[in-house]
Structure 1
Amino acid sequence: MTVLRPHLEHGVPLTRAAAAGGVSVRTARRWLAAYRAGGPAALARRPRSDRGTRTLPSECVELVEGLALRRPQPSTAHIHRTVTTIAAQRGWPAPSYETVRTIVGGLDPGLATLAHQGVAAYRDRFELVYRREAARPNEVWQADHTELDLMILDAAGTPVRPWLTTILDDRSRAVAGYTVFLGDPSALQTALALRQAIWRKTDPRWAVCGLPDVLYSDHGADFTSAHLDQVCADTRIRLVHSTPGVPQGRGKVERLFGTVTTELLPRLPGHIPHGTHGKPVTAPTLTLAELDAAIGEYILDTYHRREHSETGVPPQQRWLADGWLPRMPDSLEQLDLLLLTVARPRVVHRDGIHCHGLRYLDLTLSAYVGERVTVRYDPRDLAEIRLYYRDQFLCRAVCAELADATISLKDLQRARTRRRRELRGTLTSRRSLADALTTTGTGPIPDTAPLTPRDRSAADPDHDQPAPQRPRRRLKTYRED
């Protein structure tokens, strides 16, 4: 059109327009005839009829693809050299380097990913994902653990990385329960988080509670324990495990972990940004209790009240949307089975129950003195224990020393260790003093106790010893026939 436009719009002779455009008059006339016959579309360049086809034999193309799909992935130059050698042996036309590169670049990306990176990478990049969402609150809860990108101080003042266990409602994205702890995830931490999620909260800002229909988790040892299976069966909760190695199935709770990591943790001291090889950029100062309080405030004041980017509704409001009543357990005692995976048997003494060096008493125990009962307790609060007799709840027993205070099992263990060290130090100093005082310059102080005859004979060989007594003959007895 650049050549023909002066002729069509301004009446410039075709010969002059062709000369100005640098084409021959014959070509300009052919373009003009095509334009008048089919319009501007007739002037478009037609693609080659053999475009996309190769003159190479199909076996040669498959050879290039097979070499390119090997693991580890070979270079294009290596593939070209190998194919050229084989083509000469088979009598095929030798492909050029550009042809080999085009064949390798035209491989299906999914096929190349499966060949070079494995099934997991192919699944994560190319397989279709079924996104399921619960139809109502408490239909499905998701549970998972994560190690926080944060350093805090433990009881000894040592920097450690804590863990977070969270239980999330699938429908509303509201947090039903959580727990922060040190050490590896365990069934105890899962039980504590689930117990908090199910029972009514004391904070009026946190309305999420009730029993879910389905608890969706991974294949961790704490989620696959026989104890959790029994608890879910007793409370009519269906326990479902995700496919091993596929975190996409728990995408909602994983997204919550990402939100906490990117929004809350950078504001706390001891944060560990990505790429710092596990080193915090600020000095850690928080304790476990302070971190627990910070996460709780963030969930209740920020996360639950803010509009969720996917649902468009704040999680707390979405959970309370229809004013429904959640399904609750019969009593709190039924949930106490979640506190420990192993029950502790104890005998009822006249002064009560002895557990962890503490004494617990309740008037109900007066009728069970001498009987064996099962003790269950919250390890975060040893002021009260729950007693079961023949698998039936009996009573709550209270420790009088801790009735007005809350002491954890770790606090009690630290106090015991500190007292034991004090006693050992005292014992060592007393023994050292006794050894020093009972030793003279030349030897130990002689014993002032009276000597026995054997000691006197050992000390003085010339000492007269009494004559040894003759042994008395034994009376002989005879067996009569």
Structure 2
Amino acid sequence: MDRAQEIGLFRWKIVGEASDVSLSARERGRLVRALAEREHLDPDGRWVRVTRNTLDRWIRAYREGGFDALVPAPRRAANRMPERLELAVALRREQPARTAAQIHRIIVEAEGAAPSARTIQRHLKAAGLPCRGSAVARALGRFEAEHRNELWTGDALHGPLIEGRRTFLFCFLDDHSRLLVGYRWAAREDVLNASRALRAGMTARGLPKAVYVDNGSPFVSGQLLRACAVLGIRLIHSTPGRPEGRGKIERVFRTVREQVLL
């Protein structure tokens, strides 16, 4: 992911929620005021405030032109360290229970390189983000979506060997209806096949508001993050070793093992 795409993602992370067309003018105004009062870590590693005028401009651009309208003209970045530390902050904020080592691995998977776990830990501490229990994961453990397409859960099942090669079943489940909205059998456990299963679901059932996945390599790719940003979908990662919110799709996989993979 190049510098321009990183800036576009930074802007989208700030205004994505405020760009929701279902918000009333009062709700949007209240949200934008809160965003303007908050500090945000920019791609250069600086804590900055964004004015209401700028936020309104980004919201208009996103609503008129989608994610691409938030991406500035690309330019080569000489030093990717601040950008990756900004990503580390975003990952810790998304899941407060993530350790520096886990964040390091996710960034390596997505970017090909990352600051050391110790550097990440120091940066997160300086940013006021110590590791703590995952409130998001706990909430998802008790959560049930109220509407169709509010939340999809995705995962990959290791299937049988065929001609000596491992197979994988990628699935996406609608949390509200328990409907298997998209799936794909594949010979490789990678982001391409995960994206194909997700695309099949969106073609058949429409766009979800959020997708909840684990930290396996197919789901931490920058390619998947950008695709979700372009489509206005929130991508949520679970905390490694904590299964909250994944019981429904695990039951689907158990049925597949017991009734299909005989």
Do both proteins adopt the same fold according to a TM-score greater than 0.5, normalized to the shorter chain? no
Larger radius of gyration between Structure 1 and Structure 2: 1
TM-score category of the 2 structures, normalised to the smaller one: 0.3 to 0.5
The TM-score normalised by the length of structure 1 is 0.25
Structure with the higher helix share, 1 or 2: 2
Q: Whose relative contact order is higher, 1 or 2, with alpha carbons under 8 Å and at least 6 apart?
A: 2
